[in-house]
Amino acid sequence: MRSCSDVHNFLLEQGVPHEIARLRSSARTAQLAAAALGVSVEEVVKSLVFLLDGRPLMALVPGDSTVDTVVLARECGGDHVVLATGQRVLELTGYRPGAVPPCGLDSDLPVVADPAVFTPDVVYCGGGTTTTMLKIRSADLEALLQPRQAPIAQRR
């Protein structure tokens, strides 16, 4: 299983400035992460793994949102979207659910991001464990991932 060291090493190899923030408690949800970091939940990015017609993909949305699976399917030219099980997330990414970073995964997954992910100058993403978060400039994250951008976020 991968850890925060894998995220850090991947970004070092790519030459991407970043920090791995270590937390005192678990940050398995965007709300817990925001509270632990002292930032707004909109600055936290959720990295979620879905299966679109059986094919895996990663969706990125702000922490105060969920993924609109109807829009995700339409934007990606598919019909059936389901959230990957915890075991499938671990198999595809090498990370446990609640700790999945947007990069440095076991397998290359297509990435779809809501444009609002890149609104804050700095964002916080899963850091590889539930007690670490990746701090990265949103422009660097966008340049690194080069995701398909689509309005997939559904505000709660």
Q: Which residue type does 92 have?
A: L
Per-residue pLDDT tens, the chain, 156 aa: give them. Answer: 999 999 999 999 999 999 999 999 888 899 999 999 999 999 999 999 999 999 999 999 999 999 999 999 999 999 999 999 999 999 999 999 999 999 999 999 999 999 999 999 999 999 999 999 999 999 999 999 999 999 999 987
How many Cα atoms occupy the beta-carbon half-sphere of 82 within 13 Å? 9
pTM above 0.95, yes or no: yes
Q: What is the pLDDT of residues 104-128, one digit of tens each?
A: 999 999 999 999 999 999 999 999 9
CB neighbours (10 Å) of residue 107? 9
Domains by residue range for the chain, with CATH:
4-155 (3.90.960.10)
